[in-house]
Every structure is written in C-alpha cells, then in structure tokens.
Structure 1
Amino acid sequence: MSYDVYGPFIPVIMLITFIALFVWVLHPKNKKGFDDAANLPFDDEEKQSDAKADNGRMEK
C-alpha cells in the first residue's frame, strides 16, 4: 500500500485524534488527576525541605 491509498485519510484521522484528545482533556472527570499532576513539583519540594530539616539523622 502506498500514500495514494492512505493519503486522503490521514487528515481525517489526525482531526479525529485531536478532537478525542481535546474532549478527554476537558472532561470534568479528569480534572482531579490533572490538578494532582500539576502540583507534583511542589509536593517534591515539601518532601525535600522535611528531609533537610533533620539533616538525615534519625531519632532513637
């Protein structure tokens, strides 16, 4: 098969893929997961500041 066979369908497939991703991103069910992912870099800073506070020592 060549581009002559599949060529006309490529823009249609790309448009359908774009619309599907757009709907998936904007679906309200996914908001919490995306918000959690957006805050991951800030959660890491909190964990690092806690680790630096005890200087790596464990209380006995």
Structure 2
Amino acid sequence: MIDYTMIFVSVVLFALLTFLWWDKTRILKVENDRKRLARNLSWTGKQHMPSVTGKRSLSL
C-alpha cells in the first residue's frame, strides 16, 4: 500500500510541475509574440525580409 501511495504522490507532483512549467512557457510565448507584433508594426517593410526568406526556405 505504501508503494502505491508513493507512486501516486510522485505522479501528481510530476503532473503539477509539468503544468506549471507549461503555463510559464505559454505566458512567456504570449509576451514574446506581443513584443514581436509591436516591433513588426513599428518597423518598415524592408526589415521583414528575414522572416520572408525563412518562409521561402521552409517551402523549398
């Protein structure tokens, strides 16, 4: 019985840590997307070229 409780506790802790890590990365990704969007809106069209070349190389 003790073994089962230890396994259950470890699984719950692992799930909790995974959820917290995923939530943190999701929040960071949203902030990075917002910063990139603001940068793209403030920049001119010429400075968008790296993203365009990246998309072109992916399609090849």
TM-score, normalised via structure 2 length: 0.40
Pair member with larger Rg: 1
Name the structure, 1 or 2, with higher relative contact order (CA <8 Å, separation 6+).
2
TM-score, normalised via structure 1 length: 0.40
